[in-house]
Amino acid sequence: MSHRERTLHLIDTQAGGDVSRIVTAGVEPLPGATVLEKARYLQHEGDGLRRLLLSEPYGDPAMSVDLVVEPSHPEAQAGYIIMEAMGYPLYSGSNTICTATALLTSGMIPLREGDGLQDVVLESPAGLARISARVAGGRVTSITTQGEPAYVADEGLSVDVPHYGRVQFDLVWSGAYYALIDASRYGFTIDAESQIALTAFGDAFVRAARPGLREEHPDLGHVGPLPFAHFMGPVREIGAGRYESPSATYVHPGVLCRSPTGTGTSARLALMSRRGQIAEGGSLETISPRGNRFVGTVLEDTQVGEFGALHSTITGGARLLAHSQITVDLDDPLVDASDLEHVLARQEAPTGGAS
């Protein structure tokens, strides 16, 4: 009896401490005319891939997975589907930074010779991510990405959270819906010692806040229940139009990000702009509980459906951790092959040699 084994090729990366596993080969072409349609197919028909790579013994829920797929837009050099503990976010700054770095470093997108900036366009499920990669000494040193426009969907919301009382928040879209919470109002500082407490608070809050919140995007349709809570620390001016602030993003269920997150930073810029606290050209440097930093910069205003929205960029850097080839044993009782086997590429039969 032959073994039902499949192989996946991965590039593990990290941006601001958050690990993204880039799947470069081993998955069958997915049906769908766009990256969004491919992501929806994977979500509903092949979620075993996400669960496999984010669960023991293959991975950890604190990681993210990015599957490289064919793009549909003529400007895009590659497409990517983002998978996290919460499901399938339509856009992610840290995952975009990691995916672009992996594609350039591996040669899947040729790295331009010489130092300077190289433009890259990737297609996420939400649309195009326009990227500027800074190259020095033959390596990618930073990525600046412009993805989804962010907008404030609802302001001044509140919910009763068991053990914490009434919690006020604002709901902002920036590639997913974020609940933005003033951490100090509830007695939290954003530092390494507070990570467990913030995670517990985030879990209780998201469970309480989800019922009745928006789950629709004007252009992208149904996007699912609230996945993220973003805790905001005090804002400090560090120069003309330049600010910094401690920040922490909770991903439901049970993950506090190591980085301050790109979409979390974009959401904060949209809220600050709405309140007149930052102008076009201004920047906010967000600092995670572990001291990692991203820089968000305000671009021009735009419109998303009925909402006034904001374009912004996020700048951060990614590091390569590993190139690996993993074996998936579909007969392993720890592997749920029910919605996995059909999306994995079959092994080619060996030719020649000893039998």
Distance CA(284)–CA(298), nearest Å, equals: 9
> Which of 259, 266, 263 shows the shortest CA–CA distance to 195?
259
- The Cα 205–Cα 164 span in angstroms is 9
Rounded CA separation 121/77 (Å)? 6
* Residue 209 per-residue DSSP state: H
What is the Cα–Cα distance from 172 to 230, expressed in whole angstroms?
A: 10
Write out the catalytic residue numbers: 92
For the record, the structure tokens of 203 come out as 């879990």
Give ∠ CA 286-290-292 in degrees, rounded to 5.
Answer: 45
| Parallel, antiparallel or unpaired: strands 318-329 and 5-15 | antiparallel
- For residue 274, the one-letter residue type is R
Neighbours of 352 (CB within 10 A): 5
